[in-house]
């Protein structure tokens, strides 16, 4: 068979396979099947760059630019991205890199990091006659800073936060919110093997939620139940709106310059970081909204008077108490970092009335940590120990509810940083 004919046949088979994979995903709920993206190619010539998507069917696209950092954002209907893990890492022309994923229920997003300012031309869509594939071309043109700034100022990001399901009302059991970090267009840290942090922590969060649900003593709510982007402030809002009694955010760090660094760390909220490393980590995590092409809106602690300030300090005391229970349970089953409990100004830990912790399970830059994080047996042991820490935490609490919140009072308040 001639080489060209073989390539055409292979492409057709690949497209058909992707369609066969995607259709069952949507057929169960009666919805129309999502478009499937099977390829994304970059090309450049002079000041012009093009990103071309190969899709199973036409979709409507909306694009705009954002500054600080410089990005191009393309909003699409929900797309099933079946792309190679290396896709998006190659620099070409004005494109530094790009990422993609589910931005909100029914909506997908592509975020292009720009190597230099650029504006978006007309997005063209054509059907390839030989196999019916749809080619969507997004043209980018290099421009000066002032032109780009004006384009960014006139853009309307119009973020659509993804709301989690409301927890069952009237159930007296404590409500625990499990937050799987990153998601959708925000992959988080990326291991040298191509593994995404968002996928590792989502699997871990699901297992932890399963352990807590199986105990029957708690209600459990996840901030995301699939690979979707959820803004940082929305994660806090979900917990506060549901009047949660505990918020646990799951992450995995990466330090490519220090692959020997490993171990888990538990963070609680504070205006002042324990050390410069914690401050830098919080700064990176707090940029998650920008990485997903959304406006960064910090979750304010709503401190309006001295009573609310005392509530915040009390909540941070509960958070530190839970962190100690976690350290006691996790130390025997997993390696901890040199400073296992630290404080920093994480946006997701800014709730004034929900005890909150952020757990960095390990480092994707450490080969040993990465192997553990992907080991089902290791994960089962660690989630089991975390569930025991939750039991200990609520065993020390009384059943007296705090007015206006889901938090229960404790007989003792741990000292914390302001």
pLDDT digits (tens, 9 = 90+) for 12-69: 444 444 444 343 334 444 456 789 999 999 999 999 999 999 999 999 999 999 998 8
Q: Contact 66/57 with Cβ under 8 angstroms?
A: no
In tens, the pLDDT along 189-215 reads 999 998 999 999 999 999 999 999 998
The domain 3-153 having CATH identifier 1.10.10.10: the answer here is: no
Burial 104-117 (b: 16+ CB within 10 A, else e): beebbbbbbbbbbb
**Residues pairing with 62 in the sheet:** 75
- If you ran DSSP here, which 8-state letter would residue 94 be given? T
**Residue 289, Cβ neighbours under 10 Å: how many?**
21
What is the CATH number that goes with domain 175-410?
3.40.630.40
On the question of pLDDT at 238 being above 50, the answer is yes
Residue 165's SS3 state is coil
Mean local confidence (pLDDT), 391-396: 93
Q: Which residues belong to CATH 3.40.630.40 in the chain? A: 175-410
Query: Based on C-alpha coordinates, what's the Rg of the chain?
Result: 23
CB atoms within 10 A of CB 248: 26
Residue 12 is predicted with a pLDDT of 44
The conformation of residue 97, written as its DSSP 8-state character, comes to E
- pTM value? 0.75
CB of 363 closer than 8 Å to CB of 255: yes
Where are the domain boundaries for CATH 2.60.40.3500 in the chain? 3-153
> Residue 19: exposed, middle, or buried by beta-carbon count in 10 A (0-12, 13-18, 19+)?
middle
Predicted local confidence at residue 7, as pLDDT = 38
What percent of the chain shows pLDDT beyond 90?
64
Query: Cis ω on the peptide bond leading into residue 161 (within 30° of 0)?
Result: no
| CA gap 19, 6 in Å, rounded | 20
């Amino acid at each position: 068979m001639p080489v060209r004919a073989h390539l055409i046949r292979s492409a057709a088979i690949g497209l058909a396979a992707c369609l066969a994979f995607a259709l069952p995903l949507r057929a169960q709920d009666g919805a129309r099947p999502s478009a499937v993206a099977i390829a994304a190619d970059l090309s450049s010539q002079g000041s012009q760059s093009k990103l071309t998507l190969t899709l199973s069917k036409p979709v409507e696209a909306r694009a705009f630019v954002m500054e600080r950092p410089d990005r191009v954002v393309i909003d699409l209907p929900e797309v099933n991205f079946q792309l190679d893990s290396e896709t998006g890492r190659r620099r070409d022309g004005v494109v530094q890199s790009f990422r993609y994923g589910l931005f909100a229920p029914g909506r997908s997003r592509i975020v292009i990091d720009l190597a230099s300012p650029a504006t978006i031309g007309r997005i063209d869509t054509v059907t390839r006659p030989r196999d019916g594939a749809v080619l969507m071309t997004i043209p980018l043109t290099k421009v000066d800073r002032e032109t780009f700034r004006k384009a960014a100022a006139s853009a309307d990001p119009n973020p659509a936060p993804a709301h989690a399901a409301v927890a069952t009302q009237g159930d007296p059991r404590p409500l625990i919110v499990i937050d799987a970090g990153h998601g959708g267009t925000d992959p988080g840290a990326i291991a040298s093997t191509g593994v995404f942090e968002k996928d590792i922590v989502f699997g871990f969060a699901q297992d932890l939620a399963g352990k807590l649900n199986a105990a029957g003593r708690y209600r459990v709510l996840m901030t995301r139940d699939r690979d979707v982007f959820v803004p940082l402030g929305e994660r806090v809002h979900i917990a506060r709106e549901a009047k949660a009694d505990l918020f646990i955010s799951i992450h995995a760090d990466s330090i490519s310059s220090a692959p020997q660094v490993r171990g888990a760390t538990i963070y609680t909220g504070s205006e002042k970081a324990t050390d410069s490393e914690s401050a830098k980590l919080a700064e990176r995590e707090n940029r998650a909204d920008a990485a997903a092409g959304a406006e960064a809106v910090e979750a304010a602690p709503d401190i309006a008077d001295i009573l609310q300030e005392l509530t915040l300090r009390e909540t941070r005391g509960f958070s530190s108490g839970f962190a100690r229970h976690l350290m006691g349970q996790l130390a025997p089953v997993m390696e901890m970092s040199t400073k296992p409990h630290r404080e920093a100004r994480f946006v997701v830990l800014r709730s004034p009335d929900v005890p909150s912790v952020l757990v960095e399970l390990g480092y994707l830059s450490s080969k040993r940590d990465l192997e553990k994080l992907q080991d089902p047996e290791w994960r089962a042991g660690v989630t089991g120990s975390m569930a025991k820490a939750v039991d200990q935490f609520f065993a020390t609490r009384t059943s007296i509810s705090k007015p206006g919140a889901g938090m229960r009072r404790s007989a003792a308040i741990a000292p914390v940083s302001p």
